[in-house]
Amino acid sequence: MTASVVVGPAGVELAGDLVVPEGASGVVVFAHGSGSSRHSRRNRAVAEVLQDNGFATLLLDLLTEREERADRRTGELRFDIPVLAERLAAAVEQVGERDAVRGLPVGLFGASTGAAAALVAAARLDAVRAVVSRGGRPDLAGGALAEVRAPTLLIVGGLDLPVLDLNQAAAAQLGARVEIVPGATHLFEEPGALDEVSRLASNWFGAHLVA
């Protein structure tokens, strides 16, 4: 099943794409990174692998169309982690009310600044059972890191050195696992890098979301 959905906190309408394979064993909600939307090529590639492995996926815009236009000029909204986390948390709660995924365990997949929003949302919601970050900025989650209870995987490119350092420091607070993709930069554009991200994410959700 594939459906367009609208979710979000009161007064905010966020567009999303929900895909539910037959017999789905969990649902993974994506939080996109700096300047990205639900049309992100990289996150859609990961989502397709998750769908092939029996997970429903929700890719959604954390900013409205008007906000995205403004953010392209200012770059401010993409770093407003409290707002992004609030919207992501609302999306998790609302998608869980849909018949197609009702009762399924929930995981979060965050990229870049979206990873910080995912971690803040995970700290707030007991419903979140597992988190995966791709090239994320978990440091931007601040004090929420200590409150995250869901098993967390931080995937970082081996050549993305500043972000790697930030992830290793955050992992110590989270008790998270760090997986380094050798030869990959921040966007994982190198041959095979995104395939490795997809494999790691699928295995993590298979082990911690479904179990």
Residue 171 lies in a domain: yes
**Does a structural domain hold residue 84?**
yes
| pLDDT, tens digit only, all 211 positions of the chain | 888 888 888 888 898 999 999 999 999 999 986 666 787 888 999 999 999 999 999 999 888 888 888 777 877 777 889 999 999 999 999 999 999 999 999 999 999 999 999 999 999 999 999 999 999 999 999 999 999 999 999 999 999 999 999 999 999 999 999 999 999 999 999 999 999 999 999 999 999 998 5
Tell whether 154 is covered by a domain.
Answer: yes
Q: Is residue 156 part of a domain?
A: yes
Count how many domains the chain has: 1
Tell me the residue range of the domain where 145 lies: 19-208
Which residues have a Cβ under 8 Å from the Cβ of 21 and sit 6 or more positions away? 51, 52, 54, 55, 56
Q: Which residue from 16, 48, 53, 56 is spatially nearest to 32, judged by alpha carbons?
A: 16
**2 in any annotated domain:** no
Residue 9's pLDDT is 87
Whole-model pTM above 0.75? yes
For residue 6, tell me if it sits in a domain: no
Contact 180, 158 (CB under 8 A): yes
Would you state the structure tokens that stand for residue 78, as one six-digit string?
Answer: 């993409």
For residue 48, is it within any domain?
A: yes
- Is 119 within the bounds of a domain? yes
140 phi and psi angles, rounded to 5 deg: -75, -10
The predicted pLDDT at position 66 comes to 85
Question: What CATH number did the domain enclosing 64 receive?
Answer: 3.40.50.1820
